[in-house]
Amino acid sequence: MSKFTITIPASSANIGPGFDSFGLSLGLYLRLTVEEQDTWEVKQLSNLLPAFDSYENHFIYMIAEETANHFNKQLPACKLTIESSIPLARGLGSSASAVIAGIELANQLSHLDLSISEKLQLATAKEGHPDNVAASIIGGFVVTAYTENETIHYCKLDSLDMDMVTFIPNVELKTTASRNVLPEQYSRKQAAIASSISNLFIAALINKQYDLAGEMMEKDLFHEPYRSSIIPNYLAIKQKAKQFGAYGTVISGAGPTMIAFVPSGSGEQIVGKMQELFPSYLIQKLEVDNDGVQVSTNKEVAE
Ligand SMILES: Nc1ncnc2c1ncn2[C@@H]1O[C@H](COP(=O)(O)OP(=O)(O)OP(=O)(O)O)[C@@H](O)[C@H]1O
Ligand SMILES: N[C@@H](CCO)C(=O)O
């Protein structure tokens, strides 16, 4: 009977103007230790994980079972031990990480041999948008283009020479609730302006013109104007972070967390200053995870 570990990073999404398209993989992790055995058993070691009553109702098990069935395969029983440092419903991709956990679990246990593209397709069908899942599968900053019922195209950017600071409030905001405040339609003029901001943001990032990227990041017209009123301290965090040297600060995913891109080497200092002003927040400098989902035998896993 084999034993292995699946590690999935957290993610931020949108990064301002890249609504449902840009994803950034971050160094908080959901980790499953998997031991094949004759019966199912699920053990959770972290208080950040949602409660469950039986393994059949566990979200990760359900995704794994569904994925195996999709390929007409059986899902062998195992003991799952789950740990997580990704807070729930905060805009850091917790649901995307759980979806990927289920898909990768089926991939390993049922020997599906899924490609990155297939994982991305399956995970997007579950999440409804590809941004978080792409980042957590692939790692780094990933740009996706998704037209329903078509292959998802993606491109991973080279490493960003910046620090990332996240501002996590002590309240949840479900993605569904945060999507409900968005308009159904945009005029051609609005869409053209919003796209031009997004285009220039990406061009500036690639050119390492980080001041310009930060300026464009904060000019989103697709979602931030509609969500700003449901994000605690939206303006205050943006303004103070800018004052302390951030290039730009935006809502992380659907919120309520915010994320700042700051000059390389200044992350810790900005964390210190912002923590004094927002003491109820968990403010952290997070590493970008460049590897995405990882599977390793236990010998290879760092304790
Ligand atoms: N590890 C997990 N195991 C089981 N269910 C999970 C897990 N992580 C997240 N979920 C489910 O996903 C819900 C949160 O999803 P939601 O999309 O609202 O927020 P998020 O993914 O954290 O934020 P965002 O999509 O903005 O990044 C949880 O309330 C829970 O139902
Ligand atoms: N693009 C998604 C990310 C959160 O799941 C949104 O903003 O709703």
Helix axes 116-127 and 131-138, enclosed angle (nearest 10):
150
Identify the residue whose C-alpha is closest to ligand 2 atom 1: 20
Q: What is the pTM of this model?
A: 0.96
Residue 230 banded pLDDT, cuts 50, 70, 90: very high
Q: In DSSP terms, which residues pair with 13 in a beta bridge?
A: 23
CA gap 103, 73 in Å, rounded: 13
Amino acid at 92: L
Which ligand 2 atom is the nearest neighbour of the CA of 95? 5
Residue 147: the pLDDT is 87
Amino acid at 83: E
* Ligand 2 binding site (Cβ under 6 Å of any ligand atom): 13-14, 19-20, 129, 131-132, 175, 178-179, 223, 253-254
Which ligand 1 atom is the nearest neighbour of the CA of 88? 22
CB of 237 closer than 8 Å to CB of 271: no
Supply 145's token pair.
Answer: 């283009």
Considering only 100-109, 148-157, 226-235, which range has the smallest mean pLDDT? 148-157
CA gap 21, 31 in Å, rounded: 25
Residue 299 banded pLDDT, cuts 50, 70, 90: low
Residue 148: the pLDDT is 78
Residue 219 banded pLDDT, cuts 50, 70, 90: very high
Residue 298 banded pLDDT, cuts 50, 70, 90: low
At 302, give phi and psi (nearest 5°): -65, 135
Considering only 53-67, 87-101, 142-156, which range has the smallest mean pLDDT? 142-156
Residue 56 banded pLDDT, cuts 50, 70, 90: very high
Supply 210's token pair.
Answer: 């980080």
Residue 111: the pLDDT is 97
Amino acid at 179: R
Asked if pLDDT for residue 303 goes beyond 90, the answer is no
Ordered structural domains, the chain, with CATH: 3-157+289-300 (3.30.230.10), 162-286 (3.30.70.890)
